[in-house]
Amino acid sequence: MHRRSLLACAAGLPLVPLALPALAQLRPWPDRPLRLVVPFPPGGAIDAMARILAGPMAEALRQPVVVENRPGTGGTTGTGAAAQATDGHTLLMVSIAHAVNPALYPRLPYAEADFVPVGPVAVVPNSLVAPAVRPWRSVAELVAEARRRPGALTYASAGSGTSIHLAGALFADLAGISIEHVSYRGSAPAVTDLVAGRVDMMFDSVTSAGPHIASGRLVPLVVTTAQRIVAFPDLPTMAEAGVPGFAVDPWFAMLAPRALPAAARPPLSALLSRLLADPAVAERLARIGAEPMTGDAGTLARLLADETARWGVFIRRAGIQPE
């Protein structure tokens, strides 16, 4: 989805008042506005999620929640800035990049110990798509073609080390094929060349690829998630399509610097879970192609540990470097 439409979705949504009695016992926290740092530019899915959550969170906490974009270096700049916050009123939105970056950047401006988990937020599923002018209509046909012509087929990404790139590299590894990575500066120019047939395939979010799938210019082959998705229930997973062990769930979550008061952490995690279970919030997330996740701070802690270990092993083995 384009930046303007994502912002429209986020900005044009009514607030849903939610009470959180447990927080009343913790006063005076929060005793001032909260800052929700987004370590990526305005207009993307993570920015829209933050703005969707900020309104009802402010209603529940009875304090403004101000979204602050701090983009740069794959999300590490804003994450580093959040890590330095000592006011106890800063929160941080992160993506799967948070688990990937330790293997890509040897000198991060923060440590994982600088943060505490609040909870998982949502997944924005990706799909493997190909231009309609290409002949294959299944992963099996694509893999057969790649094996006939090793290194000849290309896949686009939004940049080296992005989840889109990692999905393509993991696919090639598990399928035992050689395909050429073509890196772009962002998803938009990559999709433009994909639709035009200048590259052969791309792992793209269903939000971005959806309009081109609807128009018939792109053909979806599989979803990258471990389970089938609501938006395209007939699309198989990669494992169902014959590539076992493949699962890339582009997740988003909320952390807080360790300065967040210990007594505020459980009720804040409960508030996030309650928001995500609210049908109105889920409907807003669906507008940007996001599916709410369930779980609490412990769930997120386990997810971060598992994903950081998994992607660290793969990135080092594959020799993937940031741009």
Cα distance between residue 290 and residue 4, in whole Å: 17
Please, what is the average pLDDT of the chain? 91
Sheet holding 218-223, edge to edge: 180-183, 154-157, 201-205, 126-131, 218-223
CATH fit for domain 3-122+250-318, picks 3.40.50.1000, 3.40.190.150, 3.20.20.70, 3.40.50.1980: 3.40.190.150
For domain 126-223, the CATH superfamily is: Periplasmic binding protein-like II (3.40.190.10)
- The rounded percent of the chain whose pLDDT value lies above 70 is 92
Question: Model confidence over 89-113: pLDDT tens digits?
Answer: 999 999 999 999 999 998 999 999 9
Is residue 62 within 8 Å of residue 82, measured between CB atoms?
no
b/e code 17-43 from CB counts within 10 Å (16+ = b): eeebeebeeeeebbeeebbbbbbbebb
b/e code 193-211 from CB counts within 10 Å (16+ = b): bbbeeebbbbbbbbbbbbe
- The rounded percent of the chain whose pLDDT value lies above 90 is 85
- Per-residue pLDDT for 5 more than 50? no
| Domain 3-122+250-318 matches domain 126-223 at the CATH topology level | yes
Cα distance between residue 273 and residue 292, in whole Å: 9
**pLDDT number for residue 26:** 44
Instruction: Note the pTM of the prediction, 2 decimals.
Output: 0.88
Question: 68: pLDDT confidence band, cut at 50, 70 and 90?
Answer: very high
**pLDDT number for residue 27:** 55
Cα distance between residue 245 and residue 271, in whole Å: 34
Question: 15: pLDDT confidence band, cut at 50, 70 and 90?
Answer: very low
Show me where the domains of the chain are located.
3-122+250-318, 126-223
